[in-house]
Every structure is written in C-alpha cells, then in structure tokens.
Structure 1
Amino acid sequence: MSVNVSGGEATFADLGLRAELLEVLSDLGYEEPTPIQREAIPPLTEGHDLLGQAATGTGKTAAFALPVLERMPRPESSAGPLALVLVPTRELAVQVSEAFHRYGRILGARVLPIYGGAPMGRQLQALKRGTDVVVATPGRALDHIGRGTLDLEGLRTVVLDEADEMLDMGFADDIEEILASTPEDRQTVLFSATLPPRIDAIARRHLRDPVRIEMGQAGAEGRHETPLVRQSAYLIARAHKPAALGRLLDIEAPTAAIIFCRTREEVDQLTETLNGRGYRAEALHGGMEQEQRDRVMSRLRSGTADLLVATDVAARGLDIEQLTHVVNYNVPSAPEAYVHRIGRVGRAGREGVALTLAEPREHRMLKAIERQTGRRIPVERVPTVADLQARRMELTRAALEECLLQEDLGPFHAVVESLTDEFDLMEVALAAVKLAHEAGGTALDEEDIPEVAPRTADKRRGREGPGGERSARGPAGGMARLFFNVGRSAGIRPQDLVGAIAGESSLSGRDIGAIEIADRFSLVEVPHAAANEVIDALRRTTIKGRRPTVRREREARVRRR
C-alpha cells in the first residue's frame, strides 16, 4: 500500500491515541498532527510495517514514537525492551530518547539511549533494571547484543530512523546483524529522507507488506518538496567565495545558520575567516572530540554563536530549533546530501532559507539536484555594494523605529534641546542616524564581486564532451596515483572511492581520474597538486565502514617490496 501525503484536516484525537498521550500532547502545545504523523500513526498503531520518506523536521519522531507508546502495555516485569530505535549518531540518539521521554512520561515509559562515548557501566545498569524503549546507534547496539546485555526476545517494534544516513556511514552490515537478532514477528518501521534503491532492497528483505508513505511526492521517484524553504544559488569564482558569503550573511541576517563545507581543513579556514570578519562562528568536524562538539552546540543553542561551519558527517543528526539558514559553501556532490542539508530548515511551519555558492564548474551539479528534487533552484546575482548599503540602512531604520517605540528617551531630551539652540532639528536627527548607522558596522570600502557565467562544454574542451562524458584529461603526468588498501573483497565500488574523496577533500568527482579496483587494494588517479590533501583528508575517515590506508602508489610499491 502506498500513500502520497497531501492536505487534510485531522486532530490527534482522530488518530485513536489513548487519553494519556492526548493529555501530554495538549500540555506540550501540539494542536494538530503534521502530514507524516497524520498518515503514519494509524497504520503503525494497527501493527503494520511502514516505509516512510520524510526529511528531518517533518515530525517523523512523533510519527513513530506515539504508536510505540500507544501499543505499550501497562508496566510489566519484563526487563527486555519492547521497542528498539536505531539512529546514525549520538546526537540523534539523545534527541529521540528525549522525545520518547516527553511523550511517555505519564505512562511511566522507561527509555534508554545507548551510544558510543557514554559510560558503559551506566548503560549496563539501566539495561539490567529493565527498559521499555532503547534508542541506539548500530555499533553500540551490536556491542550490547554480543555481550548478552541487550535482550531482544520480547521486542515488538524495530525502527530504523534516517536509514539512508546509516547506510552512508557504513552501518549496513551492522543493521543486518541486528535485525537477524530480533523476533521474526516484530513490527519494522523504516524512515529515510531519500529512497534510493538500497533502501528499497532493505525494505524488501525485512518489511512485510509495508504501508509506504512518501512526503510531498509528485508522482516521480526521488522528487522532494520543500515548500517552506526558499532556495537560491549564486555563481562565484573560488577566490571571491569568502567575500560573497559575507555579503549574503549581511543581507540575510540569519538568526542561526549552518554553513556546509567539504573538508575539515576548509571548515577550519572558513571559520577563522568569518571570525576575522566579525561574525560569531564555530567549527564542527570529525576531527573534534565529543566534548568539543558538545561545547560548540551549547554555544550555538545559547546564542553565543550564530554560525556553525561544519562537514556533512559532523552535522548528521543535529537538530537546532532556532536554525533559519543553510548555506552550501560548495555544491553537494550528491542530490541526496542536498536534500538532507536543506531539510534542517523550514520546520514546524517556519520558513527557512537555503543558499548555495557554486563555482562555474559546479553549475551542472546544480542541474542534477534540480532533476532529482523536481524543484528549480534560481541562480541569482550576488548582492552589490549598493544592495548591501541599502540593507544596512534598512536595518538602521528598523533599529531606530524600535527604539522610538519601546525606549524611554527622556534622559536624552536635554542633549537634543541644547543642540537645537545652535543647529536645525533635522541636522541633529541626521547626525544621530549617521552615528547609529556607523555603529552597525558600515563598510564603505567594499568592492563589487565580479559576475561569472556557467562553464560550457566548449570551455571544458578536453575534459567533457557535449554529452557530459569524460574524455581526455590532458597529460597523465599531471595526475598522481594513490594506493588504497581496500578493494573488491571489502565491497568497494568506484562510487565509494569518488564519494569519499569528493566528500572529504576539495576535489569534485570530475577531478578524479582513472580508478582501478583489485581484490585487496584500489588505485585512484588525482591531480598531483591535490594528492597530499586527499591523503591527509582520508586518514581520518572511513570507506564502507573501514578506515583505509592511503598513500602514493610509488611509496606503496616500495613498501611491498
């Protein structure tokens, strides 16, 4: 059965939830279910399996948490959990666990998050005492199953939340092993922001006649609607990207924004640049300890910082309520990544903004995203100095208007009165506005950012033919060959290597040359100038769940001798 979510009026009471849950939802201020909740809750409370396509922020946590709690019997002595929720990251485990606790507190629901980095002893004690719902990352869940400390015999429901993210992070084998340890008659629920073929494959293996819900589908597979997100792109030469980003941030004035970069090095460099320009930016990437990550998120949520510069991997599972803007400092290498990124704004009925800074060579990638999402991303002109000055003047006027409406201006009356003895009242007002405007950081020495055009096939001659296929790349001497100690036996495919390199370095898929995959190793050609960057970037990442050894091929051959 397949459901395309559309409009329709319904209340939580119409969904058949028990009185205790309705009371909790009312206390929390929930007035009506979101579309995914409206369509998912009834079949889940009836015990059906479900495959749901829904991005972060659509209310999917409540869509599976409320049915789990609805079906939970009165407190009983069984120590084993009734529901297991698998999530990709520690942050999401905490968020989902907190949601279960909020909804299920009145029922006495016992909820336990288990994830790496948390004290094992505390988790063991909680599991021994008994729990109703376990929210876990796949690695830690498998660890407890292997120890015999996570008893799944009484399990009724398994939820795979953000399943595509878990597969991207290399958890496919862990998920298969966990599902093999659960009862065959369990209810299985799978939520994913995108529905690529590998998600369908898991659904066919593990879901029984599932209800299928696809949010915002227009009849074409893989098309995602994000009606509350204003999307724009800007074509910018690489050298002008920091200045263009600053210009856009000044014009947009976000309450809080995530700026996505490809590599850790780019995150650190851009964070330093933004702070040097007077912004309050924090970096977040995989090279940071969990304690550092927690401090960064605390600063963002408290308002001490308003910009988070992050890699995709580091930002997975983050839920920032005050987020208004997402900025793609580079065009994402895959349309699915774009969908995940912009799904972080436009939530709970609030509007959001997604901005993409594209170099001319990345224009074709924008078109691929448009085809995948079914929505046009308008390419707009970078704001000029005149636009920026007009915006700053508008902000000055708004600040003065707020002051006139709310502030007690009595103490300043004598100052104005004394000045009007010598100057015209309009001149006094103009001088005051000038001071307020300059206090807001007006910069009159900025220059306009040069406009660029998309790179055409003719301009890329020798790299791509008219149909976009790869052709001659120039002399082979311009490329370096890198050795990876993973190959076919580890399930490595060319797209895995391209994705890892493009995701962690400044290279795009087009920059990568010939790829040769043997049984136990792989060889990849990259530009000479970027070889060291790629080697350094991949030392701290994983491919298909394995941390590879990467070095230049010549060095590898010497070592093999």
Structure 2
Amino acid sequence: MSEEQSETTEATATIGRSPGTVYVLPHTSDSIPEFLSAALGRIDPESPSVQVLILTADGENALAIAEMAHSLNGATGIEVLPATRASRSARLLKARPVRAISGTPEELIALVSASALKLDELRVVVIAWAEDLLDQGERAVTALETILSDAGKSADRIIVTRRISKPIEDFVERYARRARRAPMPMDDIGTGEIPEVKYLTTAGIAKPASLRRLLDELDPPSAAIVVRTAAGEIDAERVLHTLGYSGEDSPVTVVRGAPSAAVHTIIIYDAPVRRSEIHALGTVGAVNVVTLVTPAELSPIRELFGAKLSPLNFSAGTDKLRRRDDAMRSELRSVLSAGIPPREIAPLEPLLAEYDAVEIAAAALQLLERERRVAKAAPPSMATTPAAAPEWTGATSKLFVTLGDRDGIKPGDLVGTIAGEAGIPGGSIGKVEVYESHTIVEVPAAESEKIITALNGKTIKGRKVAVRADRPKSERKSSEGDSRGGDRPPRRTFDRDDRPRPSGPRPPRAAGDRPRSGYDRPRPGSDRPRPGSDRPRPGADRPRPSSDRPRFGSDRPRPGSDRKRPGADRPRSGPPRKGRPER
C-alpha cells in the first residue's frame, strides 16, 4: 500500500467513527451531572427530533437521570423523557417534541419497532454504567448492540463505568474506538492523606433523620456538614435549624467542599465522587469523619476509600438495641428450628393475599412486644395471667360445611371466617378436614349453634356456604342407599316368610268361583243395563248385501284377470327353466 492510500484510509476511518468519551464515576446520583451536562449540551433546540439517547440498566436509573435533568435545567429547559413503559412513551413521543430520552435497551427497541422512536438524527448515545448493562443477560446485551448499530457511527458515544476492566475495554474498543477518557476520580490522586472514614447506611429519603441521629449520638463540640448539591444544603440547614444550631457563631455549620477552619467532626451528607474531595477533607485534621451512604452507593464508596472505610458503631444505646435484636432473632430461630404447627400457620394464610410475609411477621413482632410491655407493667397477680386464651379442652362437635377442595377452600379460610363472623378464638377451633366437595370442622360443642347461625348464607371465596351439624357415621351409612335425598325415614321392607299364615289346611277352590284374570273375569258393573241399549240402531232394518260377493282378501278377483295374455299359447323356444314345468 502506498503512502497516499494509507493516509486516505486513516482519514476515512476518522470521519466514519465519531470520537467517544469514557467517564469512570461511582454509581451515585451525584455522578449524573458529570456526564449528563455534556450530553445535553449537544442538543439543537430548533430540531424537534430525539437527539440524545441514554441507555440504563433499569427504570429506576432512567427516572433518576430524568429527575437530575429537571433539577439542572429547570422547568423551561431541556427535559429527558424516562421510557419506563413503551406504550406510555410512544403516546408522549407522538404528542409533543422530545429531544432526549432515557430507558432500558428493551424498552427503547420496542419504541423503535413501533416506529415511535427515530434514530436518524441522534447526536449522542450515553451508556450509563456499562458494566450494569452487560450484566443484564443476553437479551439486554443483544438489544444494546442493536441500538448502537442502528444509531450509526456519526453519533458520539459517552460510556460511563465504575472501573476499567477487560470487558469494558473490549466494549469501548468495539463501539467507541480511540475514545478519550474524561477526568476520573480514580485518576485524581490529590495531595493529602485519606482520613479514616466511618459510614452510616441510610435510605435517600431518610438522610435528614440520619443526620439528626448522628448529631445526637456524637454530640460534637464543633462540626461541618459537607454537601455537594443545593437540595442537600437545604435539607441539612433545615435539620440544624430544628436542633437549635443557627446563627453565624453556631458550632455546627453547612459547607460546600472542605471546611476552611479546623473542626472536631466532619459529616459528609452527599457522598463524594472524586478522590480529591477525600484528600481535601484529610487536611482539616478532624477527629471524626462520617459519611452517609445509600445501599447502592456503598460499593463504589468502598472502592473510593479503600481500606480506610469502616462502619460506624454507636454508643451504649445502639449496643443495647443491637443486643435486643440479636436476642429476638435467636428466639425466632429456635422456634423455626423446632417447627411451627399448622394451627398457627392457618390463620395467617388469608393475610398473604393482602400483605407481604415480612410485613405480617413484623406486625406479629409488634403485637408480641406490646403484650410483653403490658405484662411487664401489670401487677404480679395480673402478670401471671396469660394474655392469650388457652386452647379448648372441653367437649367438641363436628360441623359439615358444603365447600371443599374443588371450591378452593383452605383450612385457614374457614378458621378465619369462623373467628371473624362468630367471634370464636382461633385456638379453640380443632381439626379441619378438607375433602373434595365438603369440609368437616371440629368446634366447641357449646358454640356449634352460634357458628352455624353466623356462617349460614355467608360467602367464602365467592361461594355461598351452608353449615349444619355433622351426623355420625352410623346414621350416614343407613341413609346412603336412599336415592330420594334429604333426611327422609328409611323405606319399609317386607319378607314373604314374615307374613302371618292361617292355621290348618287350605280349603280347595271350586272351579269358576273366582276368575283371576283375562276376559272371563267380569268387570265391575257389567250386569247393569247400559243407558239407551234398548233403542233400535239406525239402519238396523236395512238389508245387507249378499254374502256371495267377496268384499276383500284373496277371493276377490282382480280387474282383467279373465283376459288372456298375448302369446301365452305359443310354445317356448330353448331349454326349459329350472324349477318350473314346461308349458
């Protein structure tokens, strides 16, 4: 290849593939503005088409990016549409112009397939935390590769990752060759020493409450609350004002960046993004450095701080709380290991359709703690009385319920219904036997009529129920052969041998004394004259035709039978027929 041809090939490759950018950032909400501002800055406001496409691993990240774009640009700036559902996003794309959209590769591919999303005028494609997308499985990776192929080579690629690894290097080489690396926290060495940092895990919406708890537990003589965002600054100042830290001479203040003066305690309200921020905090010389982190931020924060990060352990109050929780878990573990009888599980089954199992367990623990507090505060004579009603030990009776397994009935359904409708404690209900078409329930004998009255006509799982006292097996067997149904008395049976017989020999019966059956037996009233039988019948004196004339049957001649058939007297030719004499 000549020198001119090689120069032409390099120029073509440079023009055909737009340069990309790689950001190495922790997966936190505070890291989003680092790459989002650069992507939204490429949008042309005059064009109504989609120009920025942001690919995320799930819908939560898509919503976080859209919320951050709104906080950065305000209500009148460029917004990012979160494509959490393809059908909803398709309607919004047709209703108004959308210039930036975020979502998972599967949802965006669905929009492209429905012709709701066009990729012709894309300027920037953002892959937000590439390792999370690559870990979503083959289907998500295939959708990601399809979008990157359809987007063309003219759109810039922005790839965000937590760390540079071999799979990430291969991905960057394939879709953003010769991409430049933006300033990254891991490369920002700084000049100070990384301090020892304690962390407290909390939810994002619970950060103000966690800050208030930290200040109460640590009670520092002086402290600085380090924030990175305007929203964090507002929340921290509100907490300090509530606790009484107000005024310019307050020992606890809110700062952005490293404090300018020495303080006893530093509380990092917004998780740091760059390592230089941590080095700057190390120069202050604080005794305690504590950071608030969410569960999603814990892994990148560990990478950022390294071995200098450890969990925060509170004082005696926290230790006491932890010991109580450990004792409670040990008690639950021993009960679970011993096995739970079905009678305790059955009343809880209907609640699983409305609440999660963890919520039910938490509610049960709350009731247990309440009963313990009541028992502890009660006098000694009352404390020895059990709070729960004992199981029934008296006489029991069985009830027949007209719902069974084919109706979807479970033992817990009947136990809960009986306890709720009749006011019977669940512990007093005995064995529940569910059959194909009915159920037998064992209840206290004194409460059986009350239960029957309360349950008859009620609806369980959409079926009306009828309840009655169950009959003993002996009574059920005696009526099994009665096809008439109901509680009718058994049919009477007779035996010929049981009939009384007259004593002595039977006298002979005279012939013709008593016709038994047939035409010889006279009908009742046959000896009475019939009304009108003595009147002459009309036409009785009319002469009858002669009996010589045949009226019907084989003796009646057929018409034309006396005529000769033509050719009957002519001799036949050929041999005579079998079985017939020759004429």
The alignment's TM-score, normalised by the length of structure 1, stands at 0.34
The alignment's TM-score, normalised by the length of structure 2, stands at 0.33
- The higher radius of gyration belongs to 2
Greater relative CO, 1 or 2 (CA 8 Å, sep 6+): 1
